[in-house]
Amino acid sequence: MSIPNQNRAFPIKRRKTEDTLVSWDSVTTANGNAGGISLIDSGLIGMNDFITNQVTVIILGGVANLERQLCTAFNPATGEVDFSALSAQIMAGTPYRLTGLMSPEVSVAGLAADLAVPLPNSANNVLMRDVVGNKTDTPVSTVGATASLMAYVKGILNNLVTNLYAAVIPQSNVSLAAIDSTLTTPPNVGPPDAENTIMDLAITAGQLYKIDDMVLKVSSFGTGTQITITLWELLGGSARANYAMTKTVVIPTDYPITDYLNLMDLFGKPSIVGAGVAITAVTDVGNTGVLECTYNYSVAKS
């Protein structure tokens, strides 16, 4: 390709199938910005802006020979074309080319810029990277309009980890062989009587219990014995209350002298979730049989 030796522009070449610029070869008529971020060509004065963000400039002489950048602005009043910095100022008399066929280097550079990780906790909402976010974004749980997807994901995971039920070693072989006929200290007053307590999970601030499985063995009670089994839970405040879950069993009218009862039998529930859960047993005559209980539970923060 010959380099023009005078200040005239080659004709604009366009595709026949698309009205898009293929190339424009010319020579600068004045010095561009000292920082190497523009060129000036009076031959461009008065033209429509076919340049900004869709044309690549290639320098064809001088210190910045064969360097290229994507054009970012065009002033039709002065013929000045702006672009990202080249290695040197583009002086008057420098041949150049404007091409609508973007170079691979510029395409890749533009793509890489769009894919770059945003600053931590950026509130920008322009590119997809702004929506996705930075790995160091602060976790967010409250939905808003400025946080990134990463911040919300971290917030959700933190909540899940905090509130997941953690398995606890099952308690087994709780055996009551000397059951009183009177619950002297019920769970809503203080620690229940040991001889009447099937389960007593401590009241802990912000903690919930989930009883997943419970088997209560009833044995050796005399005929006609009544066993009253009561579920207690923390219902607001700091004191337990009878949760209106009481089961009275008459032996052997309701169940045989030896039988096994589960949560559904006792309270009509497959599991129990609550704070400060306790279960007590009282007989109508006292000390006439044995209650053995096996249960397992998990805990979570409420």
Taking only the tens place, the pLDDT of each residue in 265-298 is 998 889 888 888 899 999 988 667 889 999 888 8
Domain ranges of the chain: 13-107, 118-163, 166-301
pLDDT tens profile 79-113: 999 999 999 999 999 999 998 765 565 566 566 66
* Residue 46, C-beta contacts closer than 8 angstroms, at least 6 positions apart: 76
Same fold, 13-107 and 166-301: no
Closest by CA to 76, choosing from 53, 99, 44, is 44
* Residue 280, C-beta contacts closer than 8 angstroms, at least 6 positions apart: 183, 186, 187, 192, 193, 196, 197, 198, 229, 230, 232
pLDDT tens profile 181-191: 888 888 888 88
Which comes out higher in pLDDT, residue 180 or 26? 26
SS (H, E, C) 17-36: CCCCEEEEEEECCECCCCCC
Q: Does residue 47 have a pLDDT over 90?
A: no
- The whole-number average pLDDT for the span 159-175 is 68
pLDDT tens profile 201-246: 888 877 888 888 899 999 888 888 899 999 988 876 666 776 657 8
At the second CATH level, the architecture of 13-107 is: Beta Barrel (2.40)
Closest by CA to 280, choosing from 212, 190, 204, is 190
The CATH label, of 1.10.287, 2.60.120, 3.40.1350, 3.40.50, for the domain at 166-301 is 2.60.120
- The whole-number average pLDDT for the span 45-72 is 87
pTM: predicted TM-score of the whole model, two decimal places? 0.50
Interatomic CA distance for residues 300 and 38, integer angstroms: 63
